[in-house]
A and B are shown apart, each in its own frame.
Chain A
Amino acid sequence: MSLKGKVALVTGSSRGIGKVIALKLAEEGAKLVINYPVADEAESAQQVVEEIEDLGAEAIALQADVTAMEEVKGMVKEVKQEFDTIDILVNNAGITRDTLLLRMKEEDWDAVLDVNLKGAFNVTKAISRIMMKQRSGRIINISSVVGLMGNAGQSNYAASKAGLIGFTKSVAKELAPRGVTANAIAPGFIETAMTDQLSDKVVEQMLSVIPANSFGQPEDVADTALFLASEGAKYITGEVIRVDGGMTM
């Protein structure tokens, strides 16, 4: 129970990688805030809360669209009321709107940058003061290997995920004197709803460039997040850890 008593907020944690990260942190004793963007996902968020309670840990579900600063502030306020503080923030909320640059609409660009990059800014800004004041905290941003390598058809997504890495490093520099670390995880191809949409042809192509010869699981990302949240990672900051089976060495 290495995270006993710690409070963790994972954005976009009603499903996918965020959910698995939340469960993993809860298994180690953390109190969890399950965040979801729209009322449609309230039920699945509540289910995650129940799964966490079954593990014997505490959790609450809070609706907030990370792109809306006021909603984010409201969420952080509620977390403070419920759990007093926030020790671990995982910026996991993310979307894709894939298409070639030539066909990419301005809305596709804005929507992806808004959630993936501005969303992380909003939530990090809202909690940074709490962490600074308590002289400890862990910020973990879920980037992507696409942010490091680029990917045809994902110029918006790649820009947002590369931006998130620059953001992570700057925050790491600003907050290091206050005992707060900020790191990024760059997953490769992880099997979730996000990647289920890809065609068999694309899937086959991807496998051929992964030395591990298999896709990653949300647990692989969650284990890395758990490590970065743990006491043992206190001297690691501004780092980007790839979890990609060797795809992008």
Chain B
Amino acid sequence: MDTLEKIQEIVVTELGVDADEVTPEASFIDDLGADSLDIVEVVMAFEEEFDIEIPDEDAEDIGTVQDAVDYIENAL
């Protein structure tokens, strides 16, 4: 599984959205209906899955699914 697929899987479980909604362009807040607590949960799930640390300042900049892919691939 590549990074995007892993991220899509996490987002589907954490946010309870349909897989086809989790496109690279999808915004967590505007398109996927996440609130601030959801974002924290998603970010913590990323940290666990990829064994990385995402500081709050960086997490704030992750707006879309593609942002998450870029950030994580960069951190790995």
Contacts and interface: CB of A to CB of B under 8 A. Distances in A.
A81 to B, nearest CB: 18
**Chain A at the B interface: mostly helix, strand, loop or mixed?**
helix
A80 interface: no
Nearest to B14: A133
Contacts of A177: 35, 37
B64 to A, nearest CB: 23
Contact of A174 (B37, B41, B44): B37
Interface residues of A, number: 6
Nearest to A178: B37
Interface string B22-48: 000000000000010100010010000
A42 interface: no
A1 to B, nearest CB: 31
Contacts of A133: 41
A129 B37 contact: no
Contacts of A206: none
A181 to B, nearest CB: 15
A210 interface: no
A104 interface: no
A178 to B, nearest CB: 6
A133 B41 CA distance: 9
A132 B41 contact: yes
B29 to A, nearest CB: 14
Per CB-CB distance, the 9 closest pairs between chain A and chain B, nearest first, are A177-B37, A178-B37, A132-B41, A177-B35, A132-B37, A129-B44, A174-B37, A133-B41, A129-B41
